[in-house]
Structure formats: structure tokens, C-alpha cells
Amino acid sequence: MSRLPHFLLALALLPSILNHAQSPPNRPYIITGYVFARGVPLTTGQIDPTKVTRINYAFSNIQNGRIVPGSPVDAQNFALLRSLRSSNPNLTVLVSVGGWLWSTNFSDVALTRDSRTVFEDSVMQFLTRYDLDGLDIDWEYPGMPGSGHPFRAEDKQNFTSLLRELRERFDGSARRGRRLYLTIAMGASTEVIANTEMQKVQRYVDTVNLMTYDFYEPGSESITGNHSPLYADPADPQAASSADTVRAFQKAGVPVEKILLGVPFYGHEWGQVKDQNHGLFQVGKAVPGAYTPFNIIDTTMLASGFTRYWDDASKVPYLFNPQQHLFVSYEDPESLKLKCQYIRNQKLGGIMFWEYFGDSNGKLLQTINTELRKP
């Protein structure tokens, strides 16, 4: 029999085959919430396990090259988080190690094969001891000082080696019937990309959690600004943009399905801001309590002299109080809905937020669930 009919049939089917290959798999979006206990025991009912797919418990620390609990109440808190699996069997509970203040020892841990082995051994023991589903590495940042941590030029390659070896250990655990997840939190800057090997790193991690917030922080910048803009405002001197950050990490080699867009459940507040452009992109000073949880903004500020404005270019809200000369940049349900639509349109892996207790009334988390869990 001639092979020509089979060839013609294959040719006819080629467009549908290609379209199928290019279509993303039908997968649920990942909803990762960081839970920052602040050394306080968690209580039943504080966390709704049905509205998140992953919890990253923050933070564990590093001492003598080994991962250690960050607080005496961590064992108790891990037990409570594990109990949430009964309400959501698909929930995964990870521990996040490091953070802005506890990244001091990462460079030393990653430096040699021996030092990495000590850390990796301790991670495997830690995950087994507390029955956790994996590890989130929050090194802020390889090859950079962060809040004043030791760093080295070779952090760039050592970071990759650490993640590769952890993945090998985790894959070994999977072969024995235990799937362990490995994720990383990454700063939203080109400097972070330049000091990492994202094309290699992405092979070893389940998700890259982009910290697309804190673009503007009181005390760090001399002017006010949108601290988590979706798009760049033409008037913004920094041209800050979450969407541009996503594109930069894609260009660096991270597949879209591994990218989680980070959103803040808090706002930043500046004082001594003049009444011009409703305080946006104006000189401002840090004030006490400049980090403000969303629930405080929502229940208190909006009813006490603050007016809400909307930056239509960046698709985010801000508040200004002209009598007190106070400016607040924050996330609300309207801006979060647009970010969720962006996640769907760009086919990202999902969303990550810092942190759970900033939204005690559940408005932001409900918005995420409404937008990302609809057909």
C-alpha cells in the first residue's frame, strides 16, 4: 500500500496537532499565601485552607549551616497547618527559609559541596520531622547585600548548584513515594536576574515567586510611588511595572507556567507629602507604622480623612489625606481583579501574596478565588 494517503492525513492533522501542542494544559492556578506567624501560635479558624493551594510558612532560619525553626512555636504551628489538609487534601505546606533579615548565612551555605550537603541533609530531616511538603528558598539576594548580608560573586553559580542538589534530593524522595516541592522567592529587579542563572535555575524549581511589590518604599526612595503597579505610569521616574518584571524573567528563561505573580496584602504610607497630584510621585518621608495591612486601610483609613484615587495607567489605587499630608500606596479588590485577569491572559502559573494576615476580613483572598477559580 502507498504511504501517500497516510502522509496526506498527517499533513491535514498537522494544524490541530500544533494547536494542541501550543495550548497550555488544563491546570488549576496556584494560589500561594505566605503565613508570617511573627512568633505567635496560630489558632484554629485563622486560615481558610479551601482558598489557597499552597502555604509558605515564614520563616525558618539558618544556624551553623543548617535549617532551624525560626520560633519556639513553630512545631505547634506546623501541626496546625498540617491539620488543614483534612479540609483541603490538595493543600501543600512548605517552610520558607531566609527572608530579608535572615538571609545572612546563605552565601556560606551555598559556597562548597560540603557546606551545601550539610544544609541539604538538614532540610530533609526538617521536612520529615515536621511532615512538610517542601521548601521555599527566600535568599535576598544571591550576589547582593540585601539588608547587609555577606555575599560573593560566585553566589550566582552556587545558587544554581544548591537548587540542583536539592532537586536531586527531592526527586529521590519522590521515588520513595513522597512528592516534595521546591520554590524560590525572587526580587523584582534586573539586578537580581543578572546575579542568578534563571535559565538553569528554573529547571530545578516548581515555581518562581516574583516579589512584584515594594517598588516604592518609605525611606528607601525620596518620593512616593505605586509600590505594586501592574503597568508603568508614564509619570513614574522608575517606570516600575509588574508586567515588565514578568517579561524580564520570561526573557531570562523562566517558563510562564512557573511564574507566580506576587501581590501585597498591605500598603506603604508616606508623610509630609504636599497636596499635588494627590500626593503621587511627590517628595515624602517615612512615618511610624508605614507598613499598613490592607484590613487597616479598608476599615480605618477610608473612613478617616483619606480619599481613594485611581492610577489608570498602572491600574492600582492610592490614598491621600491633604490635611495630614499622608499618602498610601496599596492593593485593593479592583486592582487585584485586574492582576488576576492579567495572570489568566498571560497564562502564568498563578499568584503569590504576602501575607495572609494582612487581609483578616478576606476581601482580597475572595477576589483571587473568584477570578482564578472561575471557568
Instruction: Specify whether 191 is catalytic.
Output: no
189's torsion region: left (phi>0), alpha (psi -120 to 50) or beta? beta
Question: Within 10 A of 310 (CB to CB), how many other CB atoms are there?
Answer: 13
Question: Within 10 A of 63 (CB to CB), how many other CB atoms are there?
Answer: 13
- From 140, 197, 269, 371, the catalytic residue: 140
DSSP class of residue 354 equals E
Q: Is 12 exposed, middle or buried (0-12, 13-18, 19+ CB in 10 A)?
A: exposed
Main-chain dihedrals φ then ψ at residue 201, nearest 5 degrees = -55, -40
Main-chain dihedrals φ then ψ at residue 181, nearest 5 degrees = -100, 145
Give the separation between CA 267 and CA 32, rounded to whole angstroms: 19
DSSP class of residue 293 equals E
Main-chain dihedrals φ then ψ at residue 351, nearest 5 degrees = -135, 150
Q: Which residues pair with 264 in a beta bridge?
A: 354
Give the separation between CA 83 and CA 275, rounded to whole angstroms: 50
Give the separation between CA 238 and CA 246, rounded to whole angstroms: 16
Q: Which residues pair with 270 in a beta bridge?
A: 286, 327
Task: Spell out the residues 6+ positions from residue 199 whose beta carbon is closer than 8 angstroms to its own.
Answer: 252, 253
CB 215 within 8 Å of CB 263:
no
Residues labelled catalytic: 140
